[in-house]
Amino acid sequence: MRHLLPLCLLLTSCAVFSGEREADRMDWWREARFGLFLHWGLYALPAGEWNGATGYGEWIQHSAHIPVETYEEFVAKFDPVDFDADEWVRIAKEAGMRYIVITTKHHDGFCLFDSEDSYYDIRSTPFARDVMAELAEACRRQDMRIGWYHSIMDWHHPDYLPRRSWEDRPADTADFERYVAYLHGQVEELLTDYGEIGVMWFDGEWEETWTHEHGRALYELCRELQPDVIVNNRVDKGRGGMAGMTAAGDYVGDFGTPEQEIPPTGLPGVDWETCLTMNDNWGYNRADHAWKSAHDLIRTLVDVASKGGNLLLNVGPTARGTFPAPALERLNEIGTWMDAHGEAIYGTVASPLESVPWGRCTLRPGDGTSLLYLCVFDWPSNGKLELLGLGNEPVGARLLSAGGRAVNAFRVDGGIRIDVPPTMPNPHVAVIALEVLGAPIAYRAPRIVAAADVVLDELEVRIESQSPELVVRYTTDGSEPVATSPRYLGPILIVDSVTFKTRAFHEGRPVTPVVERTFREVEPLPALAPSSTTPGLTRFSLPGDWNALPDIDELIRFRRVPRDIVETIAMTPEIARERLVVRHEGLLRVPERGLYTFHLTSDDGSRLWIEGQLVVDNDGLHGAVTKTGTIALAPGLHSIRVDWFNKTGSAELSLRWAPLGGKPVLLGSGLYSH
């Protein structure tokens, strides 16, 4: 067949870690799996209320438009007389948590530690005690790791830019690089004056003044000061919105940071940590009664662990220095569950199975045998729990939820069956520890991997087995793979339209669903021949309040809109505003015939059109999210248009491109208006 050309390549695997030391310094964090997040500061004093409105949290200064000089008045009132560092650590430890991350400085700029570089710190309050010192010492007394949250953004510092859109402080004397030096000075204090620190957890990196170069320098400073400290990915610019995972590129950071969400599937070889609030706010809000139940929080912890992640569960202490009573109740109940079932969480890795219908699964690999922890949400009414999709022989099973009571496990067609008691032994999650021979043989469907779904000249296609113990076979003639179909042995080049179908086999039997993917041969869009061009793109903006991109053509149909010329599609101070829609349009010069991938990042929504074709749809209300699209283009000039809107909060927009498989770069030269 013309479209199948064998391709022998020397494949090299991407190392997850750059060296043994890097792997070692992550070991404790992977073992811990469960930590306490603490958002505490001046914002605990108003407790979520300002001018009669009660929906605020740790962002109250920004959200309620409180001037700096007014917000500073909280300093003289901050006196958490009930703060007891040892009690906080005891509560976390009894909840089953292994580390604590606390806000040394949030976006409001106030420091909970004694900083030589700022008067805006805990020493200026009536309390006048260094909270960080006391908490770090308490953690060491109780064998708990301490970590620092530190905001890159700072609404108080006179040199931080950009200013808030609602405040009237002048910006003409501000020097952002002077602020960066201040930031480095405080990080040096935090990593020098308080002993060994487990985690540096940065935040507030999304504004345009903070660059990749800034992020790399701050990361390197942390590692220089404490070589074993773990630094999250928000130190740099690679985070993909609230999903939190680092985009492709040379971004630094040791783990991803999904916020208030859990990746839908596991992420093999990637370290990540979901941060989650117990109610709706991170900082204390006395009117926020939307508490998640202990039942749901326990299941969330199990869900995160089953996908190979950590859970950083937040508490917002009160202004007196105590945990809200509903938080204490939930932590106590979680701790009771962890006392009996922590073995299924600590030191485990992601489930080898894609999904189980009755709950979740974690894994503890071993020598000769492996332990699977079957975390059951829905107890079988017939007393028979079936674990399908596993090819191993069972060695034995026991109920963690019943003090280790043994239960019978049998090999059945397609998996393992376990006989369980008629009643679920734990109302939240019941856990069965199942020991099997060898490493797990999971019947996971293979994946068809290619850089695009379109073919121009040729395209490399790979089939990745998610279960290396299985044999992968495929077809390209529309039929379903059988035991005699070609076995996948390496990458394949295709040169025209084709549909791949693949499935995995164990001992000659098909054990996974069929996976298919269609590739379509295309011709490049022809170039335009405008009579004249001017360097730069045309840009204009309109005020308005939207939850999705409006019809901009309709908005401008009967009005004259001022326009300017810009060099690229990116954030600038002129458009870094709330409730705005912006259009960039013009021509893009393509150097040579080929497939090109465009990476559109925005907060909120955006869309990219080339030659009137929608290439990337990134619309909607969301944080900084990157989406991609690929299109075939002939050499020469092509029309390009990007529409973007921002509702409230932070703003971000950038467009990068690359030949298929290349490193994306920001659009710069080669842009024209006509």
Q: Is the dihedral of CA 315, 320, 321, 325 positive or negative?
A: negative
Token look-up 């490399």 returns 460
What is the structure's pLDDT at 13? 29
| Contact of 389 with 348, CB cutoff 8 Å | no
Contact indicator for 267, 307 with CB cutoff of 8 Å: yes
Q: What pLDDT shows up at residue 468? A: 84
* Level-2 CATH architecture, domain 359-437: Sandwich (2.60)
The whole-number average pLDDT for the span 120-128 is: 98
Q: Is the pLDDT of residue 18 over 80?
A: no
Q: Which residues pair with 610 in a beta bridge?
A: 613, 640
pLDDT at 497 over 80: yes
What percentage of the chain carries pLDDT values higher than 90?
A: 82
- 359-437 and 443-521 share one CATH topology? yes
Phi, psi of 316 (to 5 degrees): -105, 100
Contacts for 405 with CB less than 8 Å, ≥ 6 apart: 398, 399
pLDDT per residue as tens digits for the range 276-298: 999 999 999 999 999 999 999 99
Instruction: Report how far residue 193's alpha carbon sits from residue 195's, in angstroms, rounded to the nearest whole number.
Output: 6
pTM: predicted TM-score of the whole model, two decimal places: 0.81
pLDDT of residue 469: 85
Mean pLDDT of 329-333: 98
Tokens encoding 309: 């992640």
pLDDT band at residue 9 using 50, 70 and 90 as cut-offs: very low
Q: What is the pLDDT of residues 27-61, one digit of tens each?
A: 999 999 999 999 999 999 999 999 999 999 999 99
Residues 6 or more apart whose Cβ sits within 8 Å of residue 489: none
Question: In 3D, which of 421, 408, 305, 406 has the Cα closest to residue 361?
Answer: 305
The reported pLDDT for the residue numbered 622 is 86
Quote the pLDDT of residue 6: 36
- Predicted local confidence at residue 23, as pLDDT: 65
Task: Report the first-to-last Cα separation within the chain, whole angstroms.
Answer: 46
Helix H segments across 461-561?
552-555
The pLDDT of residue 15 is above 80:
no
CB atoms within 10 A of CB 412: 12
411: enclosing H helix or E strand? strand 409-412
Mean of pLDDT over the chain: 93
- Does residue 250 have a pLDDT over 70? yes
- Predicted confidence at residue 22, as pLDDT, reads 62
Q: What is the pLDDT of residues 342-372, one digit of tens each?
A: 999 999 999 999 889 999 999 999 889 999 9
- How confident is the model at residue 5, as a pLDDT? 36
Q: What is the mean pLDDT of residues 176-195?
A: 98
Q: If we measure between CA atoms, which residue out of 161, 244, 250 comes closest to residue 210?
A: 161
Least confident of 147-161, 427-441, 646-660: 646-660
- pLDDT grade for 8, boundaries at 50, 70 and 90: very low
* 88-101 confidence digits (pLDDT tens): 999 999 999 999 99
The answer to whether the beta carbons of residues 145 and 32 sit under 8 Å apart is: yes
- pLDDT band for 669, please (50, 70, 90 cuts): confident
In CATH, the architecture of 33-196+209-227+250-344 is: Alpha-Beta Barrel (3.20)
Q: Would you state the pLDDT for residue 246?
A: 87
Across residues 115-134, what is the average pLDDT?
A: 97
Q: What is the pLDDT of residue 351?
A: 94
pLDDT for 210 beyond 90: yes
pLDDT of residue 21: 56
- Residue 664's alpha-carbon distances to 234, 246, 607, 642, in angstroms, are 20, 14, 18, 17
Whether 4 has a pLDDT exceeding 70, the answer reads: no
pLDDT score of 467 more than 50: yes
Secondary structure (H, E, C), 216-268: HHHHHHHHHHCCCCEEEHHHCCCECHHHCCECCCCCCCCEECCECCCCCCCCC
Q: What is the pLDDT of residue 650?
A: 75
Better-scored residue on pLDDT, 431 or 670: 431
Helix (H) or strand (E) holding 418: strand 415-419
Q: Is the pLDDT of residue 213 over 50?
A: yes
pLDDT of residue 577: 84
Q: What residues have CB less than 8 Å from 659, skipping those under 6 apart? A: 594, 595, 596, 597
Q: Which of 134, 137, 283 is nearest to 196 (CA)?
A: 137
In this model, does residue 624 exceed pLDDT 90? no
Closest C-alpha to 489, from 3, 4, 1: 4
What's the pLDDT at 616? Answer: 97
Please state the rounded mean pLDDT for residues 71-96. 98
Section 550-571 average pLDDT: 90
**pLDDT at position 523 over 60:** yes
Q: Is 127 exposed, middle or buried (0-12, 13-18, 19+ CB in 10 A)?
A: middle
**Integer Cα distance of 39 and 627 in angstroms:** 31
Burial track 633-671 (b if 16+ CB lie within 10 A, e otherwise) = bbebbbbbbbbbbbbeebbbbbbbbeebeeebeebeeeb
Q: Residue 466: its pLDDT value, please?
A: 83
- Total residues belonging to the chain: 674
Q: What's the pLDDT band for 3 if we cut at 50, 70, 90? A: very low
Does the domain at 534-673 match CATH 2.60.120.1560? Answer given as yes
CATH of span 443-521: 2.60.40
In percent, the amount of the chain with pLDDT more than 70 equals: 97
Question: Where along the chain do its domains lie?
Answer: 33-196+209-227+250-344, 359-437, 443-521, 534-673
The CA-CA-CA angle for residues 487, 465, 11, to 5°, reads 85
